[in-house]
């Protein structure tokens, strides 16, 4: 599965957010640092209004959304890269995730201790980022001497990875995250970069956790974070974890009413989940029939057999072709048969690159 790791300093609202996300009380929120020690993983449904539209047309009995995972990672403190606090474990856990959801405290509340004794989310972001960069710097410096030596000896693998290592090292020595290399990177280079397994090469989404009465408007702290994120090419979501925790307890009608009184269009978590999904570079394709309409996830750029493989490994092995209808055609024309009649049901082969929203039906040998 695809995983987003929730990180941030202690007491910023990570557990509150995670609990709301998973609607469980498993990761107990408490007003002291280090309350979440073991990483907790929760799977959440990815909200997608297209699925209900498809299901209605296909007269499906069931609707099955696709899912991504969120991992609540133990609180980081200044000095983590030197093993302070739960530093080493924190860094190891972060290595396991595909993207980082970085929660920043943007709410004022004298009853909730701030580890640094002041509310300054931009400085907090830098504190966390610095620990990640120091850890990457140390890990690269440890590895690069050996690779340089091998590259001098014309070792193939060393020659392939060395340029990327040098670029990453130069950034880190300049106190910049390796993530900056992601912009417009070629697929082969991305694979090399991922292979280096650096913490600051993972995409980041900043979550501004604001007070309950600021959920609709945001606040000056959140604006400062947005400005910082824009400089880094990162995105932000403004939510109030406390409100999300309340919404998580309500049924759909009550939640809608509550959102209205707050002046909110939709739950912040739905936005967060969708942004997380984008961050992971994922797209959705659908299968539709009387039994169920279902959303499935593949990485952007995946080909039809890989999509088939998400459903069943046999579908991938025996892949013949995929009847493919674009979402707009499926809904606009009124379903599979109408799309077929209009010539909008394409037969795609093994080289077809799956597009977001494709409604697919796989033909395969067993
Ligand atoms: P973590 O250490 O980052 O996991 O933080 P927690 O989720 O345990 O939250 C720390 C404290 O901040 C708890 O007492 C929460 O109730 C409180 N808290 C979290 N989010 C909010 C919020 O949006 N508003 C307010 N006022 N308090 C919050």
Distance 291 CA to ligand 1 centre (A): 42
Domains and CATH numbers, the chain: 3-279 (3.40.50.300), 301-364 (3.10.20.30)
pLDDT 10s digits, 97-134: 999 999 999 999 888 888 788 899 999 999 999 989 99
> Can you tell me which residue has the tokens 């120091």?
134
**Angstrom distance (rounded) from CA 40 to CA 14:** 11
Listed range (18-27, 327-336, 350-359) with the worst mean pLDDT:
18-27
pLDDT 10s digits, 219-261: 999 999 999 999 887 889 999 999 999 988 888 889 899 999 9
Residue closest by Cα to atom 27 of ligand 1:
242
Percentage of residues of the chain with pLDDT beyond 90: 64
pLDDT of residue 86: 57
Percentage of residues of the chain with pLDDT beyond 70: 93
13 is in an annotated binding site: yes
pTM of the model: 0.86
14 is in an annotated binding site: yes
pLDDT of residue 84: 64
Ligand 1 atom showing the smallest separation from residue 209 Cα:
23
Ligand 1 atom showing the smallest separation from residue 243 Cα:
23
Element spanning 191, H or E: helix 187-196
- Higher-confidence position of 88 and 11: 11
pLDDT 10s digits, 274-288: 888 888 889 999 999
- What are the residues facing 292 on neighbouring strands? 62
Q: How far is CA 207 from the centre of its chain?
A: 12
Pocket test for ligand 1, best of 119, 241, 267 (most atoms within 8 A of CB): 241
Listed range (76-80, 209-213, 291-295) with the worst mean pLDDT:
76-80
pLDDT of residue 27: 35
Averaged pLDDT for residues 323-327 = 98
Give the ipTM: 0.96
Return all residues near 115 (Cβ < 8 A) that are at least 6 apart: 9, 10, 11, 33, 77
313 is in an annotated binding site: no
pLDDT 10s digits, 40-91: 788 888 889 999 999 999 999 999 999 888 998 876 767 766 766 556 777 8
pLDDT of residue 39: 55
**Angstrom distance (rounded) from CA 124 to CA 239:** 17
Averaged pLDDT for residues 330-342 = 97
Which residues have any ligand 1 atom within 6 Å of their CB?
Answer: 8, 10-16, 29-31, 35-36, 75, 107, 109, 112, 209, 211-212, 240-242
């Amino acid at each position: 599965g695809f995983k987003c790791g929730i990180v941030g300093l202690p007491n910023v609202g990570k557990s509150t957010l995670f609990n709301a996300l998973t609607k469980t009380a498993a990761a107990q929120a408490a007003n002291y640092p280090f309350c979440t020690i073991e990483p907790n993983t929760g799977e959440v449904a990815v909200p997608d209004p297209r699925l209900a539209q498809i299901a209605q047309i296909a007269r499906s009995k069931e609707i099955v959304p696709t899912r991504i995972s969120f991992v609540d990672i133990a609180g980081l403190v200044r000095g983590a890269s030197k093993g302070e606090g739960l530093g080493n474990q924190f860094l190891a856990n972060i290595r396991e995730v595909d993207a980082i959801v970085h929660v920043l405290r943007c709410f004022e509340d004298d009853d909730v201790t701030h580890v640094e004794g002041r509310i300054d989310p931009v400085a907090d972001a830098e504190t966390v980022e610095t620990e990640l960069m120091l850890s990457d710097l140390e890990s690269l410096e440890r590895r690069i001497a050996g690779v340089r030596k091998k590259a001098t000896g014309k070792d193939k693998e060393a020659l392939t990875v060395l340029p990327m290592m040098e670029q990453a090292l130069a950034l880190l020595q300049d106190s910049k995250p390796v993530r900056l290399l992601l912009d417009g990177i070629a697929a082969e280079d991305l694979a090399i970069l991922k292979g280096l397994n650096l913490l600051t090469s993972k995409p980041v989404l900043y979550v501004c956790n604001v007070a309950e009465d600021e959920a609709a408007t945001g606040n000056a702290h959140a604006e400062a974070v947005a400005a910082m994120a824009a400089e880094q090419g990162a995105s932000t979501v403004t939510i109030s974890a406390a409100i999300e925790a309340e919404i998580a307890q309500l049924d759909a009608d009550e939640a809608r009413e509550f959102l209205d009184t707050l002046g909110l269009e939709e739950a912040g978590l739905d936005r967060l989940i969708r942004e997380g999904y984008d961050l992971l570079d994922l797209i959705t394709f659908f299968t539709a029939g009387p039994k169920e309409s279902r959303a499935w996830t593949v990485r952007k750029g995946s080909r039809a057999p890989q999509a088939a493989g998400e459903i069943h490994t046999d579908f991938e092995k025996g892949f013949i072709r995929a009847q493919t209808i674009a979402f707009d055609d499926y809904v606009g024309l009124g379903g599979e048969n109408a799309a077929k009649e209009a010539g909008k049901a394409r037969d795609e082969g093994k080289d077809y690159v799956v597009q977001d929203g494709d409604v697919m039906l796989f033909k395969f040998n067993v």
